[in-house]
Amino acid sequence: MLEIEHLAAGYGEVQVIWDLGLTVGSGEVVALLGANGAGKTTLLKVISGVLRPSGGSVKFHGCELSGLGPEQVVKSGISHIPEGRQLFSGMTVEENLVMGAYTRSTRGLSSGLERIYEIFPELSNKRKRQAGTLSGGEQQMCAVGRGLMSDPKLLLIDELSLGLAPVVVERLVRAVMEVHQQRELDILFVEQDVQLALEVATRAYVMESGRIVKQGASQVLMDDPAVRQAYLGL
Amino acid sequence: MDFWVLGQYAVNILFLAGIYGCVGLGFSLVYGVMNIINLAHGSLIMMGAYTTFWLFTSYGIDPFLSIPLSAVLFFMIGYFIQGAIINRVMKTGIFMIMILTYGIEIILVNLALYLWKANYRSVAPAYSGNILELGSITIPYLKLAILAATVLITVCVYLFINKTKTGMAIQATSLNRYSAQLVGIDIHRIYNITYGVSTALAATAGALIASVYPIFPSMEGPFLGKAFVIAVLGGLGNMAGALVGGLGLAVAETVGSLVFGASYQNVTAFAVFVIILVLRPYGLVGKRFFAEISS
Amino acid sequence: MRNNLAAVGIWVAVLFLVLTTLPLILSGYWLKILTNIIMFAVLAQSCNIISGYTGYPALGNVVFFGLGAYSTAILMNRIGAPFPLALLAAGLISGLYAAVLGLPILKTKGHYFVMATLGVNEATRELVNNLDFLTGGGIGMSLPIPDRSIQSFYILIYFTMLVILVSCTLLVHFVSRSPFGFALRAIRANEQAAGVMGINTTLCKTGAWVASAFFTGLAGGVYAYWLTYIESQVVFSIIIGVKFFVILLLGGAGTVFGPLLGAFMFQIIDQFIWGAFPEFHLGVLGLLMIMVVIFVPNGLLRLFETRIWFPAKGLFQALGVMGTRAGRSEKG
């Protein structure tokens, strides 16, 4: 249960997000759409505590998150899979996954790892390989796996499909959706592929220059002529 | 050249490489994790040497036994310096951080000048004259002990970095700060610990130096210079490289003084340094990966 | 814009008048301090060319100071060259050194460049130490004592330093608004992009460094003649190199007058510290450096503009005192 109200944020003196409100209810998969530079990634950074907001509030299950460091946000049950995978490329696949569980006690570690290897068997045979040597799809699996290792209640995903073949994307989406159903994991994701996003999400927000300009159920947005024209090219 | 003479040189080089490895290790660690050129490293080594001197003359504590004591003390000092001062400016450019660390450097030099004056001091444990003779090679036990100590320290650092949770977090932070934050690593705490460990290593190097060489406040300059050379030879920020760099500097200095004369030892070292910087900025053994420049 | 220019003109004229009459009425002690300020202004200004405008942190630039000092000393002492000739040669030698070294070293960036310049400084100092027959090695080197009264000698030194400062500042002033200055700033902002735009980055960087080295070498030469005794530990000392960086930061890197303001402030504070805490001079200096980095990272000039000048202007505008013209000139 994520509730964002009147959020303002930016880099130095440049404000990127203006008076933004957004919620992710339990059991929801919410998409965040918008052109490049609309502030989507910045919003995710604010939620995960990497960037301090300059105003407004971010509440997660009733607890105020704004002002907390990223380590506390992770502990509260939010995990952020960044754009461009951002693996620890000098480490092995398994070490990357282990780092994902950094905030958790080491007791459940091996069962956590096994769970990820069940979801992505490809990673299982490559656990000792350097993460930087994997293919793009495998790297994204590793990144998703690392994000899931902290056993989050809310998953933020930035550009899951970026630069990947459609088959691989489908595979990743299916895996994430399975976890969503089995583990009561809420999801907020940024996606360039609007068609895909609206198929997967229950609701969606459209961002433009740092503000939410449209929101609604996926089906409604899918039929919205403005959205169809701007993002689906129909 | 005679076999025994060569053997004697090899022994001396190994001993020197041990000390230099220790000098470079902490410097490289800080660079690798935080991308900081820590200009205070020389004076931290110097203060470590004086701490050993102080513990030896005031309480009769053996220089080798003083290492754990001063390492713990210096870890805390380093943790504090990073937490209270350097973390404030981590986001400014390299310029700023260098000026800042140099400020710390000269404060420490001033402190040493005030506490111990500019005189040369030395620590001479009772066994410092004892010598092991191997054919015509003579090895002071003290140098053997130093070599053993550096091996032990290297093993400890290796285990800490690769086998502990905090060590892995340090590695993760050095590889990708952003991701490190996203998996829940408190990178500022990691910075503090890293600087603390680096400072403890500086103190250790200082202790080893104090047990064989005379010490004085302005020794910080030469040792900072050596830390540079070692780190660059091995590849900036590469921990294993720091040991290779230590060996490289020891060889360069020894060969340089053999070929050009003893007074050219430092010229050779710095010439090699500049050439390596220009031709192989990722170091002798490093991969390009470690030399990714962020300015 | 024209108004601004006139204001700057008046300020420069007043400053010039003060700087030329002061030495005639000051006591020896204060003249020495003033000369020191001017010297550090020259050093910071030279550093400004390569570091402030081009963005290459040449922390080891002090090597040209030492080189200039030793060149002057050697030429005057061993060959008997007259001071002006020796000084000019010292500047040229420093510039040449930068040109030769610049081609390989300016290929490195960021931390690597800093370390390379420091390495060059160390290697050069060690070399100077070893060339005993030329430099006197570790003992240092004396220069011929000038045959004129002490006071007139110090005034001569002062004016030589001032001429160097004025020419250096004029150079920076004109370069900063020339295509060359634009090229340097482009390199600072994004070297690759500058290269793509058709700027010969290697040539520009090297040119900037040569100019920087030339003036630093001149300052070193005057310093050597002024003190009549130099030793390598002093003229190649990193602390001098770091000092002019602090001055540059304090005043404001990449501005024409920042280095001058910085040198003035820094030397005055330095002098005060010497007087008040002789035993803790270094320590207080270090503390000062830390405070500059933490509290005035953008330099005093920027601080003055953003905290005092702009708000004051805004206040006046709000009160209608300055009208719309001031508002326009702020943009100009």
Task: Give CA–CA dist C42/B117, Å, rounded.
Answer: 34
First CA to last CA across chain A, in angstroms?
Answer: 34
Do B289 and A90 lie within an 8 Å CB cutoff?
A: yes
Closest chain B residue to the Cα of A76, Cα to Cα: B184
- For A162, which DSSP code? T
Do B99 and C110 lie within an 8 Å CB cutoff?
A: no
Do B183 and A86 lie within an 8 Å CB cutoff?
A: no
Taken as a whole, chain A contains a residue count of 234
**Tokens (6 digits) for B252:** 């360069």
Task: Give CA–CA dist B277/B232, Å, rounded.
Answer: 7
Residue at A156 is within a domain: no
Please give the pLDDT value at position C206. 94
Q: What is the mean pLDDT of residues A88-92?
A: 91
Element (H, E) at C159: helix C150-176
Tens-level pLDDT at each residue, chain B (295 residues): 577 888 888 888 999 999 999 999 999 999 989 988 899 999 999 999 999 999 999 999 999 999 999 999 999 999 999 999 999 888 877 778 888 999 999 999 999 999 998 889 988 887 877 888 877 788 888 888 999 999 999 999 999 999 999 999 999 999 999 999 999 999 999 999 999 999 999 999 999 999 999 999 989 888 988 898 898 888 877 778 888 899 989 998 888 888 887 777 778 888 888 888 778 777 776 554 333 333 2
Three-state secondary structure string covering B245-261: HHHHHHHHHHHHHHHHC
Residue at A210 is within a domain: yes
Residue at A100 is within a domain: no
Q: How many domains does chain A have?
A: 1
- Smallest CA–CA distance, residue B176 to chain C, in Å, is 19
According to the per-residue pLDDT averaged within each range, which of A32-36, A137-141, C278-282, C315-319 is highest?
A: A137-141
B90: contact with C, CB 8 A cutoff: no
Cβ burial of B284 (10 Å; 0-12, 13-18, 19+) is middle
Task: Give CA–CA dist A65/A48, Å, rounded.
Answer: 9
Dihedrals φ, ψ of B68, to 5°?
-60, -40
Contact C258, C301 (CB under 8 A): yes
DSSP C268-289: HHHHHHHHH-GGGHHHHHHHHH
Task: Give CA–CA dist A1/A77, Å, rounded.
Answer: 11
CATH number, position A19? 3.40.50.300
- Pick among 1.10.10, 1.10.3120, 1.10.490, 1.10.3470: CATH of C2-297: 1.10.3470
What ipTM describes this predicted complex? Answer: 0.93
Please give the pLDDT value at position A159. 92
Q: C325 forms bridges with which residues in the sheet?
A: none
Residue at A219 is within a domain: yes
Please give the pLDDT value at position C70. 96
pLDDT band at C314 (very low <50, low <70, confident <90, very high): low
**Residues near B124 by Cβ (< 8 Å), separated by ≥ 6?**
none
With contact defined as 3+ CB pairs under 8 Å, the chains touching C are: B
Contact B289, A90 (CB under 8 A): yes
Largest CA distance in chain B: 60
- Indicate the SS3 state at residue A39: coil
Do A150 and B183 lie within an 8 Å CB cutoff?
A: yes
Interface test with B, best of A71, A150, A151 (most B CBs within 10 A): A71
- For C293, which DSSP code? H
B3-291: in CATH 1.10.3470: yes
Task: Give CA–CA dist C191/B62, Å, rounded.
Answer: 54
Question: pLDDT at residue A138 above 60?
Answer: yes
| pLDDT tens digits, one per residue of C178-187 | 999 999 999 9
Question: pLDDT at residue C329 above 50?
Answer: no
B267: contact with C, CB 8 A cutoff: yes
Domain of residue A19: give its range: 1-77+185-234
Residue at A88 is within a domain: no
- Smallest CA–CA distance, residue B278 to chain C, in Å, is 6
| pLDDT tens digits, one per residue of C254-309 | 888 888 888 998 888 888 888 888 888 889 989 988 988 888 877 776 776 666 66
How many alpha carbons fall within 13 Å on the CB side of residue A99?
Answer: 35
Largest CA distance in chain A: 52
Chain CA centroid to CA A188, Å: 6
- Measured between beta carbons, the chain C residues lying within 8 angstroms of B277 are 105, 108, 112, 115-116, 119
Question: pLDDT at residue C330 above 60?
Answer: no
| pLDDT tens digits, one per residue of C66-109 | 999 999 999 998 888 999 999 999 999 999 999 999 988 898 88
- Smallest CA–CA distance, residue C127 to chain B, in Å, is 6
Please give the pLDDT value at position B25. 93
Q: Which of residues 133-172 of A touch B (CB under 8 A)?
A: 146-147, 149-150
How many alpha carbons fall within 13 Å on the CB side of residue B116?
Answer: 22
Dihedrals φ, ψ of C279, to 5°?
-75, -25
Residue at A113 is within a domain: no
Residue in C332, C313, C331 with CA at minimum distance from that of residue C323: C313
- Smallest CA–CA distance, residue B292 to chain A, in Å, is 13
pLDDT band at C21 (very low <50, low <70, confident <90, very high): confident
Q: Are strands A203-208 and B137-140 parallel, antiparallel or unpaired?
A: unpaired
Please give the pLDDT value at position C312. 67
- For A51, which DSSP code? S
A122-141 burial: b if 16+ Cβ within 10 Å, else e: bbeebbeebbeebeebbbbb
Q: Name which of A49, A82, A99 is nearest B168 (Cβ-Cβ).
A: A99
- Indicate the SS3 state at residue A151: coil
pLDDT band at C325 (very low <50, low <70, confident <90, very high): very low
Residue in A82, B229, A183 with CA at minimum distance from that of residue C126: B229
Do B182 and A82 lie within an 8 Å CB cutoff?
A: yes
Mean pLDDT of chain C: 86
Contact C248, C256 (CB under 8 A): no
Residue at A131 is within a domain: no
Q: What is the mean pLDDT of residues A180-196?
A: 92
Residue at A218 is within a domain: yes
DSSP chain B: --HHHHHHHHHHHHHHHHHHHHHHHHHHHHHHHH----TTHHHHHHHHHHHHHHHHHHH---HHHHHHHHHHHHHHHHHHHHHHTGGGGTTS-HHHHHHHHHHHHHHHHHHHHHHH-SS-B----GGGG-EEEETTEEEEHHHHHHHHHHHHHHHHHHHHHHHSHHHHHHHHHHH-HHHHHHTT--HHHHHHHHHHHHHHHHHHHHHHHHHHS-B-GGGHHHHHHHHHHHHHHH-TT-HHHHHHHHHHHHHHHHHHHHHH-GGGHHHHHHHHHHHHHHH-TT-SS--GGGG----
